[in-house]
Amino acid sequence: MEIKKISVIGGGTMGNGIAHVFALKNFKVNLVEISSELADKSLLNISKNLDRQVKKESISEKDKQEALSNINKIIGVDKTPPDSDLVIEAIYENKEAKLNIFNIINDIVKKDSIFASNTSSISITELSSASRPERFIGMHFMNPVPVMQLVEIIRGFSTSDDTYKAIRELSIKLDKVPVEVFDYPGFISNRILMPMINEAIFALMEGVASATDIDTVMKLGMNHPMGPLTLADFIGLDVCLAIMEVLYNGFNDSKYRPCPLLKKMVAAKKLGRKTGEGFFKYS
């Protein structure tokens, strides 16, 4: 089956990036939001991000206009077009809310379409249970979607080979680099990244070095573009804690225990960039 029509549920940080990259490659995209205002906000963000690409001359003004004309806004998940070949869910990270979305669209959208979730940590196998397990898959894009090349493709327990192949080929058409990952807590990206960030927070808590010096070690010593504590602030400390809890509970292994300092900072609402303060201060 050729995938031509895409529905993206949720037009937030990730959803608008996903709609952007598909629309730019001439796919027809339905952007599904909960209100007209939020859908407009999402489209405005896409337009601004396309402008940035026009300025850098990586796309033309005509490409931008065509991309925007490929996006159709839809209000309410129950209005998801039944002829969607692929539905990508990108609402907030909550298992019950996501299961509810898949439950609703399973009754509406044609039976041979594929369902994907952009979740960064919830089990694809569990999410697939509400709808069509063989035609269900994880498509974990990275933020910002138009810039980052990687897509982790996560195969749930029952994901069929055909579904995997279709999504792999589709990712390549988007000029992304897909990697095949099986469904274990944190997949690959967060299983490796988050314990590193957590360890950096332990080192800070134990007074091994200052926050700036910990980041300097990883930037200048390991050639990381950003230190782990700056990265944690960028991702959001609440998100980091939630993912560490997924790893800790999913593996029942103490090596994934969230650092007490991370917990304390989340309790104090020092969540990083979005609250103006985390390991560093932002104005």
Site mask for ligand NAI (CB under 6 A), range 69-108, x = bound: --------x------------xxxx-------x-------
Q: Of 40, 46, 49, 36, which Cα lies nearest the Cα of 16?
A: 46
Among 20-28, 116-124, 173-181, 246-254, the segment contacting ligand NAI (CB under 6 A): 116-124
Q: Which is nearer to ligand NAI, 120 or 159 (CB)?
A: 120
Near ligand NAI by CB under 6 A: residue from 7, 19, 33, 170 = 33
Work out whether 118 is an interface residue with ligand NAI (CB under 6 A). Answer: yes
Tally of CA atoms within 13 A in the half-sphere of 278 that contains its CB: 24
Active site residue 199: no
Q: Return the sign of the alpha-carbon dihedral for residues 56, 59, 62, 65.
A: negative
Residues touching ligand NAI, count (CB under 6 A): 21
- Please state the closest distance from residue 17 (CB atom) to ligand NAI, in A: 8
Near ligand NAI by CB under 6 A: residue from 38, 196, 209, 261 = 38
Active site residue 20: no
Work out whether 240 is an interface residue with ligand NAI (CB under 6 A). Answer: no
Q: Of 155, 75, 169, which Cα lies nearest the Cα of 116?
A: 155
Active site residue 277: no
Contact yes or no for 102/73 (Cβ under 8 A) = no
Work out whether 272 is an interface residue with ligand NAI (CB under 6 A). Answer: no
- Please state the closest distance from residue 100 (CB atom) to ligand NAI, in A: 8
Which residues ranging from 131 to 170 are in contact with ligand NAI (CB under 6 A)? 143
Sheet with 136-141: list strands edge to edge. Answer: 71-75, 28-33, 5-9, 86-89, 114-117, 136-141, 150-155, 177-182
Work out whether 10 is an interface residue with ligand NAI (CB under 6 A). Answer: yes
Q: How far apart are CA 258 and CA 176, in angstroms?
A: 32
Tokens of 129: 């249970």
- Range 9-48 burial, b when 16+ CB lie within 10 A, else e: bbbeebbbbbbbbbbbeebbbbbbbeeeebbeebbebbbe
- Please state the closest distance from residue 209 (CB atom) to ligand NAI, in A: 27
Work out whether 9 is an interface residue with ligand NAI (CB under 6 A). Answer: yes
- Please state the closest distance from residue 175 (CB atom) to ligand NAI, in A: 18
Q: How far apart are CA 181 and CA 138, in angstroms?
A: 9
Catalytic residue among 33, 140, 198, 277: 140
Length of the chain: 283
Q: Which is nearer to ligand NAI, 209 or 242 (CB)?
A: 242
Near ligand NAI by CB under 6 A: residue from 6, 7, 8, 15 = 15
Burial class (CB in 10 A: 0-12, 13-18, 19+), 79: exposed
- Please state the closest distance from residue 235 (CB atom) to ligand NAI, in A: 6
Q: Of 125, 120, 183, which Cα lies nearest the Cα of 148?
A: 120
Q: Which is nearer to ligand NAI, 203 or 256 (CB)?
A: 256
Kindly calculate the radius of gyration of the chain based on its CA atoms and give it in whole angstroms: 19
Where does this chain bind ligand NAI (CB under 6 A)? 9-15, 32-34, 38, 77, 90-93, 101, 118-120, 143
Residues recognised as catalytic: 120, 140, 152, 190
